[in-house]
Structure 1
């Protein structure tokens, strides 16, 4: 954008652009989400780096061009939404299909996006903001997985080749986006069966197809441009087709072929060949089952011998009458060790009752489908078996497939979903702590300011001064706590320094002793030669105290808490790089935790303490801190024996910085008296700020809302400075600043906020003063405007 020659553009130089364009443009360019905005009558196009892949070859030539020109191929699809946005309405689209020409040809893409109006100086809609997420791969992957799942379900229970062909034709006839037409050829020579999966593809069966081109893998063939082919879900016909061999029982000799017309809007789709392989794999498996059924009827003994899955015959009494050799291959038991024995001898103990009920149901004549239970191998391992049954006479015949690997994959998926839920919980914590800390900072602001003024007006009384200093110190600790909560919730940068963790532990020894209480024996095992670690000292101190409190609470009738530091070398653990680490451990000999409790120990809001005695945030905050420090939190516990919590922190070669001299803050009357407008919806905070400023010698006017402040300034009253809170109802401090700048562009404005950072979308760039603040901090910020 800097290299673009804006002097030749209708908008002219960027410094002359309206604020209504520059403010959202500033937000857009610094965001990692895909975003673009259009401005002006033609919605001239601006976008950020994250949006470049969506543009493809249109980048960078489309910068500043009209929206209708940038996406001319799909503009008609969204034109009605553009009109609604110009009328002041926002729109939303979930996975909208758009045929974008970003690589030189129309391409099937899906996008979830919102259109929002942007208002100009006159209050009219002068532009449009789009926040977009491309979901093409997700939509197409889900569509293909659904095709595979549906085909698998349709093939279950097929017992003849015709039933298999019917199932394939039915499923492929539905997915007309990946395959606008599909042909199925089964068998060879005069016995070959040719099937069109949709009626409009029937004429294609008369063409000559190069089925032999599909050797060891799918073969791509170009379709004649002038021939007429079914278009399926699209407006144009396929350009290419895929010929895929259906492997036979030997895995090599084909028993049939699929001819699949390919999506004309997915020219570089390398994954479609994998999809075709999986489809023919399912078909091949179904045909193999059909062959197995036929062979069973003709040569039952041979099928029984060579089956890869478990086959058995069992009586209603649970005694095995016969089992296939697959039992030995899958479970390790010799067949003569199974026949004549009860089913319970091989089941996982927890599944015996449910299996007995299922066997009773099967023996009564109800066929079981996909009944799953667990078996023990000869080595004691666990295997999941999915059963289909049929009753004949007094016996239940079972067909069992080993689905252990599928179960493990499902557990991995569940773990990923759990990680996503954990991330969402942490987002909730961020929102909660942000709002609570803001309100708490307002209260601390009033306390700190009034204590500061009280101290300055008190006579020289050492005891009173000590009491006031203690109250100020307590308020400062409260402010520090809220800032740490916000820093964790918003993932802000930590103040990293190289420190000795052993010295850090000694530095908070008094606090550890007070936190543990008189009934707890404290033991230290500290490494005096411990290497330095790069940490935020305040955060690690807070984490250490939190772990000590947890250890204390785990001791029922007193006990011992041990704090240890040492250097450890990890090979590879908890996704940590191998190398040296500093280990800070807090262990106790308390009640301990069972496996279920231990698994949830770092979940937000999870607590084993009584109501009112714990928030459930301590360990989750420590876990988050460890991750931010490129380390890990490791917890081990045994019920009745105690718990050990370990912080693993990477070793650093940096040396500790020399401590900076701490200057006692001084407050002197201002060199020049200023007229200042204080705006805050909290009367207590406003009064405190007014008192601080008046004590410095300034002339101060108070307003308790943005509207009141605007009315005062519009009345013509002169002010040298405005000090305003950010979070106010109806009109926040950022909106007030924008309105004041329209009246007095040169008016200095200082934004006071209880947030560690302004919420996303605040869109205001002003000097800021963090709450709570004292008189010396306030004086320093004013001096930055006037030099005094």
Structure 2
């Protein structure tokens, strides 16, 4: 009983950390289509035979950045919620597709990998649509649920730059869709956390990674560390400038292009003028021609998303060696 209480406490703590966006994640580039197919047998075993399960995966799904354990927890949570919403027979549909739309907080339309779980259950009243994502809220009977499943899903997705939506009609069913950003980095060349042979063994380079999505910034930093770099992280242009002014000996700056407030392009233009010794690379899904037109960025390297370890290594090798 004591062990069970400890495990329940850990689960509660993990869920609250996820809701607050403070979970310790280990994001990796993954094929979400393979992930869904691999988990299909586990989901089927958790659903009674009276409920039909349909799984559809579109072709050409781009890689996404996920924490495997958290993604498994989210998918299982949604499947079990769908199961509990169905009295008698019904259907659960798990679908994976690419959808182009804006983020709910605004910004230009972009491609998202959407994993949705739909059921033909009892539905959720409209006035409760937002409340279901709050911690400890549940529509189940007392003792039948903690009310932390959907809040954990939302917190996890927000931590990796995604979001979750709910559409539901009473008596018709519910669809919950998880939107994952297409991976801006490719970690599949990195084996665990074991550093590979540094690209520049003679002298460790000092790098600054700028990205408003913490999970992405950490992955890029980890790949740079495996290439022999000491790495710092900033969430925006303001933080980046503070670090650049505080830290001496920065060799390279790697920034995302699209960020709230100041863009990576504006940051790169400014730093290239004030700190010309720092080599700069921009991570972008746009073409170099589109970004550099009229921007005066001819000295800046463009890394096409998803950014791989090989791209970072090639960039590091362009850095001049210090004079002996």
Tell me how far apart the structure 1 counterparts of residues 45 and 190 of structure 2 sit (CA, whole Å): 27
Taking a change above 3 Å as real, the CA distance of residues 442 and 640 of structure 1, as seen in their structure-2 partners, is: closer
1:636 and 2:167 matched:
yes
Given the alignment, which residue of 533, 537, 551 partners 2:68? 537
1:591 and 2:113 matched:
no
Taking a change above 3 Å as real, the CA distance of residues 442 and 552 of structure 1, as seen in their structure-2 partners, is: closer
1:377-416 mapped onto 2 (5 Å cutoff)? none
TM-score computed with the length of structure 2 as normaliser: 0.53
Please name the residue that 2:22 is paired with.
Answer: 491
1:76-155 mapped onto 2 (5 Å cutoff)? none
Q: Which has the higher helix share?
A: 1
Q: SS of the counterpart of 1:508?
A: helix
TM-score computed with the length of structure 1 as normaliser: 0.23
Taking a change above 3 Å as real, the CA distance of residues 513 and 576 of structure 1, as seen in their structure-2 partners, is: farther
Shift, 1:611, TM fit: 1.1
Please name the residue that 1:758 is paired with.
Answer: none
Given the alignment, which residue of 500, 503, 506 partners 2:34? 503
- Is residue 525–residue 564 contact of structure 1 (8 Å, CA) maintained in 2? yes
Q: SS of the counterpart of 1:606?
A: coil
Shift, 1:594, TM fit: 1.5
Shift, 1:657, TM fit: 1.5
Given the alignment, which residue of 45, 49, 74 partners 1:514? 45
| Aligned-CA RMSD value | 2.8
Tell me how far apart the structure 2 counterparts of residues 577 and 563 of structure 1 sit (CA, whole Å): 27
Shift, 1:495, TM fit: 0.9
Shift, 1:485, TM fit: 3.5
Please name the residue that 1:332 is paired with.
Answer: none
Please name the residue that 1:601 is paired with.
Answer: 132
Considering Cα pairs closer than 8 Å and 6+ residues apart, tell me whether 1 or 2 has the greater RCO: 2
Shift, 1:578, TM fit: 2.9
Please name the residue that 1:39 is paired with.
Answer: none
Taking a change above 3 Å as real, the CA distance of residues 481 and 500 of structure 1, as seen in their structure-2 partners, is: farther
Query: What is the total number of aligned residue pairs between the two structures?
Result: 191
Shift, 1:631, TM fit: 0.9
Please name the residue that 2:282 is paired with.
Answer: none
Q: Which has the higher strand share?
A: 2
- Is residue 15–residue 149 contact of structure 2 (8 Å, CA) maintained in 1? no
Taking a change above 3 Å as real, the CA distance of residues 571 and 493 of structure 1, as seen in their structure-2 partners, is: same
Tell me how far apart the structure 1 counterparts of residues 15 and 102 of structure 2 sit (CA, whole Å): 33
Shift, 1:654, TM fit: 2.9
Please name the residue that 1:564 is paired with.
Answer: 95
Q: Which has the larger radius of gyration?
A: 1
Deviation per residue, 1:5-35 (Å, 9 max, x gap): xxxxxxxxxxxxxxxxxxxxxxxxxxxxxxx
Tell me how far apart the structure 1 counterparts of residues 13 and 124 of structure 2 sit (CA, whole Å): 32
- Is residue 631–residue 648 contact of structure 1 (8 Å, CA) maintained in 2? yes
- Is residue 484–residue 539 contact of structure 1 (8 Å, CA) maintained in 2? no
1:666-685 mapped onto 2 (5 Å cutoff)? none
Taking a change above 3 Å as real, the CA distance of residues 486 and 614 of structure 1, as seen in their structure-2 partners, is: closer
Shift, 1:443, TM fit: 5.6
Taking a change above 3 Å as real, the CA distance of residues 582 and 547 of structure 1, as seen in their structure-2 partners, is: same
Taking a change above 3 Å as real, the CA distance of residues 496 and 589 of structure 1, as seen in their structure-2 partners, is: same
Deviation per residue, 1:379-420 (Å, 9 max, x gap): xxxxxxxxxxxxxxxxxxxxxxxxxxxxxxxxxxxxxxxxxx
Please name the residue that 1:651 is paired with.
Answer: 182
Shift, 1:520, TM fit: 1.2
Shift, 1:442, TM fit: 9.0
Please name the residue that 1:618 is paired with.
Answer: 149
Deviation per residue, 1:88-131 (Å, 9 max, x gap): xxxxxxxxxxxxxxxxxxxxxxxxxxxxxxxxxxxxxxxxxxxx
- Is residue 16–residue 152 contact of structure 2 (8 Å, CA) maintained in 1? no
Shift, 1:497, TM fit: 0.9
Taking a change above 3 Å as real, the CA distance of residues 534 and 645 of structure 1, as seen in their structure-2 partners, is: same
Q: Please, which runs of 5 or more residues in structure 2 have no aligned partner?
A: 193-324
Shift, 1:659, TM fit: 7.9
Taking a change above 3 Å as real, the CA distance of residues 443 and 613 of structure 1, as seen in their structure-2 partners, is: closer
- Is residue 574–residue 632 contact of structure 1 (8 Å, CA) maintained in 2? no
Q: SS of the counterpart of 1:538?
A: helix
Deviation per residue, 1:56-75 (Å, 9 max, x gap): xxxxxxxxxxxxxxxxxxxx
Tell me how far apart the structure 2 counterparts of residues 576 and 541 of structure 1 sit (CA, whole Å): 29
Shift, 1:505, TM fit: 1.0
- Is residue 505–residue 541 contact of structure 1 (8 Å, CA) maintained in 2? no
Tell me how far apart the structure 1 counterparts of residues 58 and 16 of structure 2 sit (CA, whole Å): 33
Tell me how far apart the structure 2 counterparts of residues 583 and 568 of structure 1 sit (CA, whole Å): 6
Taking a change above 3 Å as real, the CA distance of residues 524 and 576 of structure 1, as seen in their structure-2 partners, is: farther
